[in-house]
Chains A and B, each alone.
Chain A
């Protein structure tokens, strides 16, 4: 299928036409009119966003999300690559499960779905999962994570960091010292003290980050810190990078915008792990993302069915959906505040994550010959988040009712138009293949 994107705005503000053929950008220039025409109307064209932290729930919890519905949410959010976390039922700790998830992603065809493998068998933190088998499977897993749980045993963490070196793998750590967070419900601080909710102290995150950057240094391995949330954590990563330790770090959109004050009405839509922190933490995270201490934005898209949030706080599930709001939230937190440029946003949300994960066809600058994985964004649009119009099967967004900047208009996946004028192009209708 051939396309021409007319009147696309590049990051340098040049208005161009972009010809797409055979899955790549065939030409960039003026007055091109090959194949199906998509008029960008001077919207910004950027490489498709890449998420290294997505919960797709399939297999096992198809009531909250499937690979197909999560892929649709991703395409609507401008993502062309997402990374399915391993905490499914069964756990993605074997070649069989990761190949299944990978295949489901290919079948859905709306976004490249790269499975993340579990670090430990059954996420139990007792012994390593078959990391090599997952790496050598058709899914070619490179990121391993017990996300949802911390690999808290220091010796097991050391072994995992060492073991994945054979295939240039990376361990993505959910930094949460379990002994310091038994029964924890929210950030420990003034708000938790008033609400009588068990605290999740910042030190429980920072203690694991400190330990793991030293382990990574000792064994010379790659470490990725998932969803950093604390000012102290940012300082630790900054320290590690200054020492030349091979560590990368991620922040979620919601931790860039929301604080623990929102918990005050006990609405579980704000219940998430790691928890919303304080204003001071939010400011440190923004600064860290702007200066590159934090390498990437990861959504931690975590769908939950209605009944898991329509209850008392303590019984509610942790997590928020985020694929469809991620870009807008980052624009709101980072660009509208003039902390970051669009160019840096593209680096943090596309180029850097693709590089960390080794997703070769993603995160390439928009240029002739690059894979046609693209998002076209109306940067001047505003929209109101409506949980009923989300493509995700679950509706647990904390941003419902908020007015957001910037809207994804079109998404191209490997040369095919998968999102057109904000609508998913169904493969069944022959829109793309």
Chain B
């Protein structure tokens, strides 16, 4: 990771671990009385959101503010984008306003990379979710959450068994997690009906299963993905009930998990569809930890992209 975070492919395993370590250091400050760091004072972070995502935007906004950056929120709705302004013009406008970093959420796969590569702007670009491609900070916060629940994992995830369950085909969360967790050494099994698994998956570094019951028996981490109801209309599966029966994490499946297994979900959850209320609220669920860790990990990313220097020293100051 030099200037941008567009994809997990931008990170080596050690760089990813370094982000997690930075987030750990930052967590110590967050638990203290003075939550704010002066690191990015005078820097401007723009949240450029072409898709509605209050959760992710707030998470990035809190992260930037806790590092004392100025934050500009730009959402496409009601802006000149809805009047037909191009991504290029929007980006250049923000650049002219002095953005040091642009956090972009966009419905088109590759939009973040285009923003970074096209020469339109000189700011750092952070991908906050591009179409059905990637959501790298989500994967980093998931890895951070996993590590916090499995203290034996430090510099790699060797031996960790992860089941990622649901709409792999359309999930940027799944793509980023597959890349990151396998880079760190975890063994990944994708679980979904075949309609929701990409045709090219045979060349990914994962196992594929159509049977949730057997796939989760030995899993250390069960990561449930959100199912969107429009997938049903497009015949990816026959009905919500049939999907839920086959691929939902209900109480019986929750009870079949090992004691140490954790249940994750990037949110927002469809309770009763991919995850039952009992599973979502059980002690195995780390969904709320994922949310709070999101701020720490995004602080760490902003810190490393904009702050430059290693964290040690300054944090203690």
Q: Do A and B come from one complex?
A: yes
Q: Is the CB of A190 within 8 A of B200?
A: yes
Q: Is the CB of A193 within 8 A of B199?
A: yes
Minimum CB–CB distance from A251 to chain B (whole Å) comes to 24
**28 A-B contacts (beta carbon < 8 Å):** A185-B109, A188-B200, A189-B200, A190-B203, A192-B199, A193-B200, A196-B110, A196-B130, A196-B131, A197-B110, A197-B131, A197-B133, A199-B198, A199-B199, A201-B199, A265-B117, A266-B110, A266-B117, A267-B117, A310-B86, A311-B86, A312-B87, A312-B108, A312-B110, A313-B108, A314-B107, A314-B131, A315-B86
Minimum CB–CB distance from A197 to chain B (whole Å) comes to 5
Q: Given A191-B200, A196-B175, A198-B132, 4 more contacts at CB 8 Å?
A: A190-B203, A195-B109, A312-B111, A315-B86
Residues in chain B near residue A310, CB distance under 8 A:
86, 88, 118
Looking at B87, B108, B117, B118, the one whose CB has the most chain A CB atoms below 10 A away is: B108
Complex alpha-carbon distance, A403 and B285, angstroms: 57
With contacts defined as CB atoms under 8 Å apart, how many contacts are there between chain A and chain B in the complex?
78
Complex alpha-carbon distance, A307 and B89, angstroms: 11
Complex alpha-carbon distance, A185 and B131, angstroms: 12
Complex alpha-carbon distance, A310 and B88, angstroms: 8
A196 is contacted by which of B109, B117, B199 (Cβ under 8 Å)?
B109
Q: Is the CB of A314 within 8 A of B133?
A: no
Q: Is the CB of A189 within 8 A of B110?
A: no
Complex alpha-carbon distance, A265 and B7, angstroms: 11
B199 is contacted by which of A189, A197, A266, A307 (Cβ under 8 Å)?
A189
Complex alpha-carbon distance, A236 and B87, angstroms: 42
Task: Report the 6 A-B pairs with minimum CB-CB distance, sorted nearest first.
Answer: A193-B200, A266-B110, A196-B133, A193-B198, A196-B132, A314-B108
Contact with B along A177-214 (1 / 0, CB 8 A): 00000000100111111111111010000000000000
Q: Is the CB of B88 within 8 A of A311?
A: yes
What bracket does the count of chain B residues touching chain A fall in? 20 to 34
Q: Is the CB of B106 within 8 A of A312?
A: yes
Complex alpha-carbon distance, A119 and B30, angstroms: 68
Complex alpha-carbon distance, A267 and B107, angstroms: 17
Q: Is the CB of B198 within 8 A of A313?
A: no
Query: Contacts A310-B88, A313-B108, A314-B108: A266 and B114 contacting too (C-beta < 8 A)?
Result: yes
Q: Is the CB of A313 within 8 A of B175?
A: no
Complex alpha-carbon distance, A267 and B111, angstroms: 10
The reply on B232 being an interface residue by CB < 8 A is: no
